[in-house]
C-alpha cells in the first residue's frame, strides 16, 4: 500500500522527526481513515461514551520541561525504565538479560532497530488495530511505549520495573503501547507503574499486549494511579499458547474516570490465566472494569478475582466474563467480584457473566455488593481507634484475599502502601 502523506501532514512530519518505518506510518494512516467508521467498544453497565475519551489532538513530537524531569525520583531497581510523556529518561538492563538476548527498548527505538519483530507482534494476536474506534485511534496517535522480547529457554529471576509518567502539565493526549513477548519455556516478571504529573485535563489511551509462547510463564503486576483530570482507556490483553501461564495482578488506584478492558485468550491447550484486581474509587470518580477470560484450548484454566472499595460519591463497576467456547473440553472458568461501599451516595455493581458453549467443563461465579461491617467497625473503635483509621483497617481486611493471592511479596507490599495512601486521600473527600 502506498499512501500519499500530503493528505496527512501531521503524520508525515512526525514520521520524519522519529525516523519511523514506512509500514508503521502507513498503518497510522489506515487506522486514522478507519477510526471514524468504527464503533466505540461496548461494555455491560459501563456508560462512558460521553466522556472525553476519544483522541482529538493532532499527532506531534513533544518533549517535557527539564525542571519537571528533575522532580521525578522513582525507586531505583536493577532492571528498569523511566519514561516521562514521550521521553525515555533512564533504561537499565542487567548483563544477565543482555547476555541471554533479551531485548528491551523504547517504542521509537523498537520501530527503528527491531522493526521486523514489532511488525510480527504489534496488534496481531492480543488486540487488533481495527477492533473498535479506540484501538484504531490508538494506532493513529501512538507516541510512546516499550518493547520487550524474551527469547525461548530464558528464565529471568529478577523482575523488570517500568515507571511511566504521563505529562499532564499541558493538554497532551497520552497514547502509550507496551508489547511483551515471552518465548517458549521462558519465565519473565514485569512490574508497571503508571502515574500522572500535572493537573491539566487530558485523555490517556494505553494498550498492553502480552504474548506468552508455549510453556512460558509471565508475571504481570501493575500499580496504576493516573490523575484526577485524566480520562483513560486502559486495555491490557494476553494471548496464551499451549501450557502458557500469565499471572495478572493489577491495582487500580487511579483518581480520574477510567475504563479498564482486560482480556486473556487461552488459545493453546493447557493455557492458564489468573487475574487478580483490587480497585478503589473516591470523590466523584467513575471506574468501569471489564475483565474477560476466554477458554479456547482444551483443559484451559481461567480465574478472575476482583475486590473493590467505593467512597464518597464515586462509582465502581466490575464485569467478570468467563467464556468457554465450543471445543474447549475440560476447561475451567471461575470468577469472584465483590464491592464494598462506604457511602450512601456511592454506586457499585458486580456483574458475573458465564458463557458456556460446550459440555465437560467446570464453571462458577460469585458476586456481592455490601457495606462496611458495623460490628467490626464498632469493635475497632471501642479499642480506641478513630473511625477513619478503623474503616481503613476493615477495608484492608476486605481486600486481603486478593492481596494474599498475589505471588510477589514486593508487589503486595507496594500495593498495600498505595492503597493506604489512596484511602487517606479519599477520606478527605468524605
Cell numbers at residue 64, please?
517535557
- List the chain domain ranges: 1-205+218-235
What's the confidence (pLDDT) of residue 428? 67
Q: Which of 218, 224, 188, 191 is nearest to 206 (CA)?
A: 224
What's the confidence (pLDDT) of residue 1? 53
Query: For 85-173, where are the E strands, in sequence order?
Result: 87-92, 103-106, 144-150, 160-167
Which H or E run includes 117? helix 115-121
Based on the number of CB atoms within 10 Å of its own CB, is 390 exposed (0-12), middle (13-18) or buried (19 or more)?
Answer: buried
Helix then strand then coil, in percent of the chain rounded to 5, is 25, 40, 35
Q: Which segments of the chain have a pLDDT < 70?
A: 1-3, 428-430
Based on the number of CB atoms within 10 Å of its own CB, is 121 exposed (0-12), middle (13-18) or buried (19 or more)?
Answer: middle
Which H or E run includes 412? helix 409-427
What's the confidence (pLDDT) of residue 412? 81
pLDDT in tens, 293-330: 999 999 999 999 999 999 989 999 999 999 999 999 99
pLDDT in tens, 107-123: 999 999 999 999 999 99
What's the confidence (pLDDT) of residue 176? 98
What's the confidence (pLDDT) of residue 430? 61
User: pTM for this one?
Assistant: 0.95
Amino acid at each position: 500500500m502506498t499512501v500519499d502523506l500530503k493528505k496527512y501532514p501531521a503524520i508525515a512530519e512526525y514520521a520524519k522527526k522519529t525516523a519511523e518505518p514506512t509500514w508503521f506510518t502507513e498503518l497510522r494512516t489506515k487506522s486514522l481513515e478507519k477510526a471514524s467508521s468504527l464503533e466505540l467498544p461496548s461494555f455491560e453497565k459501563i456508560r462512558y461514551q460521553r466522556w472525553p475519551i476519544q483522541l482529538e489532538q493532532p499527532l506531534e513530537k513533544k518533549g517535557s520541561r527539564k525542571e519537571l524531569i528533575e522532580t521525578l525520583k522513582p525507586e531505583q531497581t536493577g532492571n528498569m525504565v523511566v519514561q516521562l510523556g514521550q521521553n525515555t529518561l533512564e533504561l537499565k538492563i542487567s548483563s544477565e538479560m543482555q547476555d541471554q538476548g533479551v531485548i528491551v527498548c523504547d517504542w521509537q527505538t523498537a520501530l527503528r532497530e527491531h522493526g521486523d519483530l514489532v511488525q510480527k507482534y504489534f496488534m496481531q494476536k492480543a488486540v487488533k488495530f481495527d477492533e473498535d474506534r479506540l484501538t484504531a485511534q490508538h494506532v493513529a496517535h501512538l507516541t510512546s511505549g516499550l518493547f520487550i522480547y524474551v527469547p525461548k529457554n530464558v528464565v529471568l529471576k529478577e523482575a523488570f520495573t517500568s515507571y511511566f509518567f504521563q505529562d499532564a502539565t499541558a493538554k497532551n493526549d497520552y497514547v502509550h503501547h507496551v508489547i511483551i513477548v515471552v518465548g517458549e519455556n521462558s519465565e519473565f516478571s514485569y512490574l508497571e507503574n503508571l502515574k500522572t504529573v500535572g493537573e491539566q485535563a487530558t485523555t490517556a489511551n494505553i494498550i498492553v499486549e502480552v504474548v506468552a509462547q508455549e510453556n512460558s510463564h509471565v508475571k504481570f503486576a501493575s500499580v496504576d494511579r493516573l490523575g484526577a483530570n485524566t480520562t483513560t482507556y486502559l486495555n491490557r490483553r494476553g494471548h496464551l499458547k499451549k501450557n502458557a501461564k500469565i499471572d495478572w495482578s493489577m491495582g487500580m488506584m487511579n483518581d480520574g474516570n477510567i475504563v479498564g478492558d482486560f482480556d486473556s485468550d487461552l488459545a493453546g491447550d493447557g493455557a492458564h490465566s489468573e487475574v487478580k484486581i483490587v480497585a478503589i474509587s473516591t470523590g466523584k470518580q467513575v471506574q468501569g472494569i471489564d475483565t474477560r477470560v476466554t477458554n479456547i484450548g482444551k483443559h484451559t484454566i481461567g480465574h478472575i478475582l476482583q475486590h473493590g472499595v467505593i467512597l464518597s460519591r464515586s462509582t465502581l463497576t466490575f464485569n467478570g466474563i468467563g467464556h468457554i467456547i465450543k471445543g474447549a473440553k475440560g476447561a475451567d472458568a471461575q470468577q469472584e467480584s465483590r464491592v464494598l461501599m462506604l457511602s450512601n451516595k456511592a454506586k457499585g455493581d458486580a456483574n458475573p457473566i458465564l458463557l458456556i458453549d460446550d459440555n465437560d467443563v467446570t464453571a462458577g461465579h460469585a458476586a456481592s455488593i455490601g457495606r462496611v461491617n458495623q460490628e467490626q467497625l464498632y469493635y475497632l473503635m471501642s479499642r480506641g481507634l478513630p473511625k477513619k483509621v478503623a474503616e481503613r483497617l476493615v477495608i484492608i481486611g476486605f481486600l486481603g484475599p486478593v492481596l494474599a493471592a498475589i505471588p510477589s511479596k514486593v508487589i503486595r507490599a507496594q500495593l498495600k502502601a498505595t492503597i493506604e495512601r489512596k484511602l487517606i486521600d479519599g477520606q478527605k473527600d468524605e
